[in-house]
């Protein structure tokens, strides 16, 4: 494995741990609680907070999926190529967005 991929893997793995920690703080019993609780829904402030947490949890989960897929692509050797056109993503874009699976054209 090329040395730059080792660095990127380390970046992705630390990003993954960070995301898991954040998601864990928003979840109940290890599951993301995306359903409104009826009791909370009657209480405006709590419901609003719950809604913000849902949006944040979804965003974090989406990022986690991207990171997981990037790690899987490092393992199967397809990392660094665009999933749309197959072209090289390019080292600068990869360094800025290590989890990206698309070239600048298909971002
Ligand atoms: Zn592309």
Compute, in angstroms, the gap from residue 74 CA to the centroid of ligand 1. Answer: 18
- The pLDDT of residue 87: 95
**Assigned domain for 102 exists:** no
Say what the pTM is: 0.74
Whether 85 contacts 103, CB under 8 Å: yes
Among the listed residues 65, 67, 56, the one whose alpha carbon sits nearest the alpha carbon of residue 32? 56
**Assigned domain for 106 exists:** no
Q: What is the pLDDT of residues 54-93, one digit of tens each?
A: 899 999 999 999 999 999 999 999 999 999 999 999 989 9
Q: Pull the structure tokens for residue 88.
A: 């090289």
Q: What is the pLDDT of residues 5-56, one digit of tens each?
A: 898 999 999 999 999 999 988 876 545 555 555 555 455 666 677 788 889 9
CA distance 76 to 58: 27
Q: How many domains does the chain have?
A: 1
**Assigned domain for 88 exists:** no
Compute, in angstroms, the gap from residue 102 CA to the centroid of ligand 1. Answer: 5
**Assigned domain for 10 exists:** yes
**Assigned domain for 107 exists:** no
| Beta-bridge partner residues of 31 | 28
**Assigned domain for 46 exists:** yes
Q: Pull the structure tokens for residue 18.
A: 């960070």
Compute, in angstroms, the gap from residue 81 CA to the centroid of ligand 1. Answer: 8
| 3-class state of residue 32 by DSSP | coil
| Domain residue limits at 39 | 3-80
**Assigned domain for 96 exists:** no
- The pLDDT of residue 83: 94
Which residue is associated with the tokens 């991929």?
A: 5
């Amino acid at each position: 494995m090329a040395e730059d991929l080792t660095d990127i893997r380390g970046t992705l793995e630390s990003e993954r741990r960070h995301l898991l920690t954040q998601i864990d703080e928003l979840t109940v019993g290890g599951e993301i609680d995306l359903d409104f609780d009826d009791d909370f829904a009657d209480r405006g402030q709590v419901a609003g907070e719950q809604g913000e947490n849902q949006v944040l949890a979804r965003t974090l989960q989406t990022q986690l999926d991207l990171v997981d897929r990037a790690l899987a692509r490092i393992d199967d050797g397809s990392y660094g190529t665009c999933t749309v056109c197959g072209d090289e993503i390019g080292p600068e874009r990869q360094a800025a967005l290590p989890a990206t699976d698309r070239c600048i054209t298909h971002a």
